[in-house]
C-alpha cells in the first residue's frame, strides 16, 4: 500500500485529506505539532500511525519518513502545516519574520528535500500548501504571504530539478484551518455579499485538489492549483 506523509495532517484541512486519502487506498501518516488528542483520535479512526514534532527539526522529518516506510510503500508527501503570522510588517520584528519563514517555508522545503532523498528513483508526488495570499497581492499580508509565495516559486524550481512531481495547492477563504477564525468573525462576509465567491470553501474542496495532484503516475508538475471559488 502506498503511504502519504501528511505534515500537519490532524487539523481541519489535514484530517479531510487523511480521510479522503484513506478512502482512495493510501495509508496516511499523520504528522502533528501539539494537539496529541486530536491526532490520536484521527489515527484511531483510520488505523494509521502518528508522528509528533516540528518538521523544521531533522529528527522529526526522519521519524515521519521511517513511519511511512514501516507502513507501506513510500510514495507521497503533503505539507499542510503553517502559521497565519498575522503581525503587520509595520510592527514585525526580526524574530517574527524568521518564525514565519521557518514554519511556512523552510520546514516544508526541508521536509520535501529529505522525502525525495528517501524516495530515490521511485515514483512520488509532493504537494505544498500555500494560500491565496501567496499567489495574489493582499495588503497587510507580508509576514505570512511572502514565505508562502517563496514556497510557490521553490515548488516550480524543484519540479524541474527532481524526478518526483512537485505541485502547490493554494486555498482561498476556507471554513477550516487557519482561516476558520476569520470566517467566523465575519471578516470575509463581503466576499459573499458582493458575489465574488458563491460560498466559503470547505476542507473537502482542498482535499480533493490535493488528492488529484497526489494520484500515481500523474502528468502534472510545477503547477499551482488555487482553490478559492
Q: Determine the length of the chain.
A: 229
Is 32 annotated as catalytic? no
> Are residues 216 and 123 in contact, defined by beta-carbon separation less than 8 angstroms?
yes
Helix (H) or strand (E) holding 142: helix 142-161
> Are residues 31 and 8 in contact, defined by beta-carbon separation less than 8 angstroms?
yes
The strand pairing partners of 174, in sequence order, are 201
Which member of 32, 75, 144, 188 is catalytic? 144
CA end-to-end distance (rounded Å), the chain = 33
Cβ neighbors of 32 (< 8 A, separation 6 or more) are 8, 9, 10, 11, 38, 39, 50, 51, 52
- The residues that are catalytic are 144
Amino acid at each position: 500500500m502506498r503511504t502519504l506523509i501528511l505534515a500537519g495532517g490532524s487539523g481541519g484541512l489535514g484530517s479531510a485529506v487523511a480521510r479522503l486519502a484513506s478512502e482512495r487506498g493510501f495509508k496516511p501518516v499523520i504528522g502533528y505539532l501539539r494537539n496529541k488528542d486530536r491526532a490520536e483520535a484521527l489515527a484511531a479512526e483510520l488505523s494509521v500511525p502518528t508522528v509528533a514534532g516540528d518538521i523544521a527539526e531533522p529528527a522529526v522529518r526522519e521519524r515521519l519518513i521511517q513511519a511511512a516506510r514501516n507502513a507501506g510503500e513510500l510514495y507521497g508527501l503533503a505539507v499542510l502545516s503553517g502559521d497565519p503570522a498575522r503581525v503587520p510588517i509595520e510592527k514585525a520584528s526580526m524574530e517574527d519574520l524568521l518564525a514565519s519563514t521557518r514554519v511556512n517555508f523552510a520546514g516544508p522545503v526541508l521536509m520535501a528535500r529529505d522525502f525525495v532523498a528517501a524516495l530515490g528513483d521511485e515514483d512520488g508526488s509532493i504537494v505544498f500548501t500555500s494560500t491565496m495570499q501567496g499567489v495574489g497581492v493582499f495588503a497587510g499580508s507580508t509576514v505570512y504571504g511572502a514565505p508562502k509565495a517563496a514556497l510557490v516559486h521553490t515548488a516550480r524550481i524543484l519540479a524541474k530539478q527532481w524526478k518526483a512531481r512537485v505541485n502547490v495547492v493554494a486555498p482561498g477563504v476556507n471554513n477550516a484551518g487557519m482561516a476558520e477564525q476569520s470566517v467566523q468573525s465575519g471578516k470575509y462576509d463581503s466576499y459573499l455579499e458582493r458575489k465574488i465567491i458563491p460560498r466559503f470553501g470547505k476542507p473537502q474542496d482542498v482535499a480533493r485538489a490535493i488528492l488529484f495532484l497526489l494520484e500515481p503516475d500523474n502528468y502534472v508538475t510545477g503547477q499551482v492549483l488555487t482553490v478559492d471559488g
